[in-house]
Chain A
Amino acid sequence: MKMTTPLSKNRSIHFSPGSIIMGKWHQKQYQIIKPLGYGARGTVFLANSEKGRVALKFGFDNSGVTSEVNVLNKFSKVQGEPLGPSLYDVDDWVTKKGTYSFYAMEYINGIPLMDCIKVRGFEWAIVFLLQLLKDLGRLHEAGWVFGDLKPDNLVVTGPPLKIRWLDVGGTTMLGRSIKEYTEFFDRGYWGFGTRKAEPSYDLFSATMIIVNAADGYQLKKGQHPEKQLTQHILQHKKLAPYSEVLIKALYGKYATAEDMRKALLPKLNETHTKERRNTNVKPIRRKNKKKEWKGPMILASVILLAYVLYVTLFIM
């Protein structure tokens, strides 16, 4: 065991495209396609394997890889749609430079959550929150708390659009202390409670993701964070319709993700009716859109006419 590995000496891991990786224990082969991302604890590559494309994660240290693999193994035991990427293989790659621990997992080809919300609009943020709450509920029931829930660890796949988890390194057993967190999404940082792994910890982070999505930036913590956050939510045009639920979630008032989901659903329907009314206020845009549609409409009618003629001529 390396007893002293100063964290500051973050070795970066580079493999060039085409490199062949061969596992020491299971003898499986992988060919590197390209790097997917560089994290604080390792580097992830896209690679080809006998099973097709996979994501390979090489960790800076052995214990990090082992912890993540443990979590992914636990995830795979939860029934239903997979929580997080599926795990395929765990192994060591022995090179002249040293031994790298790695694991192969499902390649999740998605777009970053925030990019997706920016393009599609904030109403999708609430949809993703509902999806997230459903998955969190299943995770909590299995005895785990996600911990480091933040936009960086979430991508959207589809269509149909579905939010998925990437980095599971912060997942912690219920009742223990949160292994890993990011300040903005951390309940302790904002003074709203402990870092004990309980469902309400994840619900706090989920709420902060929505706050982050509504703002498009990360609010700076002020002198009175508690008041600051609640006021911010109450006064924010996008957040106000959900303020009751969001603020309750910040204070840990929901015992389960399902409780929060149930409370959120009726709010969603309320705001939708409002928005439908609003669309009438923008007749100009609609007209423009109609104009754009005229061209293709004419074209479509012509094709249809031709088709009818064709059918009548040949079949009759």
Chain B
Amino acid sequence: MKKGRLKQVLLITDGCSNQGEDPSAVAALAKEQGIAVNVIGVVNEDQTADGGIQEVEDIALAGGGISQIVQTKQLSQTVQMVTRQAMTQTIQGVINQELQQILGDQDSMDDLPPEKRGQVMEVVDELGETVNLEVCILVDTSASMEKKLPTVHEALLDLSISLNSRMGSNQFCLYTFPGKRKPIDKLLSWTPKIDSISNVFSKLASGGITPTGPALKEALKSFDKRPRRDFVEDDDAFIEES
């Protein structure tokens, strides 16, 4: 099995997009390119289920990722949990494909007896720990998000602690939307640590529009802009021995 790295988009938003193409369609596009789109919907303590929440789930569903609605104060833990679960899910998906080839009609891990399942899970865990990960973080900074941004900032630093405790390498990049002139603004190009973003969020001017679709589309391009030299590692087999 040959696989380079796991690629994820992590979209942090609080609700409805209102400009440009359908974000779910863009997410489906991402999935086709092997990029999982995870979405975290940040709601206020008093906010109840509405259209924004539906959109959050739809984007993740289309993007082969995971979604989670969360209140601002629980954000840190959710961000790391979603990222981790999405990794596991992607790896399981890949392993299931392998299993299909080996087992034929028995088509997934769920069809194995519990004992065998345990062994497969160990491989999944091992890969989740050692695989190289690229996360493109895309933060909605439209007006309604303004008060939540300090917490988003904290959650991202926290994510960096979690992922950098792994054995595998990590690369992050960070974009916000809506951008000043373009759909998105780049705050951070690919880097192994997120520490460097302190205070950038506080300087953001937030606007009234939420062009989630176009922003997502731009963010996907970031995966092509990875520094060339890093691709040398990509020849490493995804699973060396299993």
Closest chain A CB from B110 CB (angstroms): 6
- For the complex, give the distance between the alpha carbons of A289 and B208 in Å: 72
**Choice from B61, B113, B114, B162 contacting A188 with Cβ under 8 Å:** B162
Is B68 a contact of A7 with CB atoms below 8 Å? yes
Closest chain A CB from B27 CB (angstroms): 11
Q: A3-B64, A3-B93, A92-B114 are in contact. Are A194 and B125 (CB under 8 A)?
A: no
Question: Is residue A44 contacting chain B, with contact meaning CB distance below 8 A?
Answer: no
Q: A4-B66, A183-B77 are in contact. Are A25 and B117 (CB under 8 A)?
A: no
Question: Is residue B60 contacting chain A, with contact meaning CB distance below 8 A?
Answer: yes
Count how many chain B residues have C-beta atoms less than 8 Å from C-beta atoms of the other chain: 43
- For the complex, give the distance between the alpha carbons of A290 and B93 in Å: 71
* Chain B residues within 8 Å of A6, by CB: 57, 60-61, 66-68
Is B121 a contact of A63 with CB atoms below 8 Å? yes
Chain B residue nearest to A90 (CB atoms) is: B114
Question: Is residue A11 contacting chain B, with contact meaning CB distance below 8 A?
Answer: no
Interface residues of B in 67-101 (CB under 8 A from A): 67-69, 76-77, 81-82, 84-85, 88-89, 92-93, 96
Interface string of A51-63 (1 = CB under 8 A from B): 0000000000011
- For the complex, give the distance between the alpha carbons of A150 and B113 in Å: 33
Is B165 a contact of A63 with CB atoms below 8 Å? no
Interface string of A218-231 (1 = CB under 8 A from B): 00000000000000
Question: Is residue A235 contacting chain B, with contact meaning CB distance below 8 A?
Answer: no
Is A194 a contact of B165 with CB atoms below 8 Å? yes
* Chain B residues within 8 Å of A183, by CB: 76-77
Closest chain A CB from B47 CB (angstroms): 13
Question: Is residue A177 contacting chain B, with contact meaning CB distance below 8 A?
Answer: yes
Is B60 a contact of A4 with CB atoms below 8 Å? yes
Question: Is residue A176 contacting chain B, with contact meaning CB distance below 8 A?
Answer: yes
Q: A4-B66, A177-B166, A183-B77 are in contact. Are A69 and B114 (CB under 8 A)?
A: yes
Q: A62-B110, A67-B125, A176-B167 are in contact. Are A73 and B118 (CB under 8 A)?
A: yes
Count how many chain A residues have C-beta atoms less than 8 Å from C-beta atoms of the other chain: 35
* Chain B residues within 8 Å of A69, by CB: 114, 118
- For the complex, give the distance between the alpha carbons of A1 and B89 in Å: 9
Question: Is residue A12 contacting chain B, with contact meaning CB distance below 8 A?
Answer: no
Q: A1-B110, A7-B67, A177-B166 are in contact. Are A189 and B158 (CB under 8 A)?
A: yes
Question: Is residue A18 contacting chain B, with contact meaning CB distance below 8 A?
Answer: no
Chain B residue nearest to A177 (CB atoms) is: B165
Is A188 a contact of B158 with CB atoms below 8 Å? yes
Interface string of A171-197 (1 = CB under 8 A from B): 001011111011100001100001110
Q: A63-B88, A194-B161 are in contact. Are A70 and B118 (CB under 8 A)?
A: yes
Closest chain A CB from B14 CB (angstroms): 14
Selected A-B contacts with CB under 8 Å, 17 pairs: A1-B96, A1-B109, A1-B110, A3-B93, A4-B64, A4-B89, A7-B85, A8-B68, A25-B113, A70-B118, A90-B118, A101-B114, A176-B125, A176-B129, A177-B165, A178-B165, A183-B76
The majority secondary structure among interface residues of chain B is: helix
- For the complex, give the distance between the alpha carbons of A6 and B69 in Å: 9
- For the complex, give the distance between the alpha carbons of A129 and B121 in Å: 33
- For the complex, give the distance between the alpha carbons of A92 and B115 in Å: 12
* Chain A residues within 8 Å of B144, by CB: none
**Choice from A4, A5, A66, A175 contacting B117 with Cβ under 8 Å:** A66
* Chain A residues within 8 Å of B85, by CB: 7
**Choice from A3, A92, A195 contacting B162 with Cβ under 8 Å:** A195
Is B162 a contact of A175 with CB atoms below 8 Å? no
Is B165 a contact of A195 with CB atoms below 8 Å? yes
Interface residues of A in 65-87 (CB under 8 A from B): 66-67, 69-70, 73
* Chain A residues within 8 Å of B183, by CB: none
* Chain A residues within 8 Å of B120, by CB: 66
Question: Is residue A91 contacting chain B, with contact meaning CB distance below 8 A?
Answer: yes
Closest chain B CB from A170 CB (angstroms): 12
Closest chain B CB from A88 CB (angstroms): 12
Q: A92-B114, A177-B166, A196-B165 are in contact. Are A1 and B93 (CB under 8 A)?
A: yes
Interface string of B48-66 (1 = CB under 8 A from A): 0000010001001100111
Question: Is residue A99 contacting chain B, with contact meaning CB distance below 8 A?
Answer: yes
Interface residues of B in 134-179 (CB under 8 A from A): 158, 161-167
Chain A residue nearest to B68 (CB atoms) is: A7
Interface string of B14-39 (1 = CB under 8 A from A): 00000000000000000000000000
Residue from A90, A92, A195, A196 having most chain B Cβ neighbours under 10 A:
A195
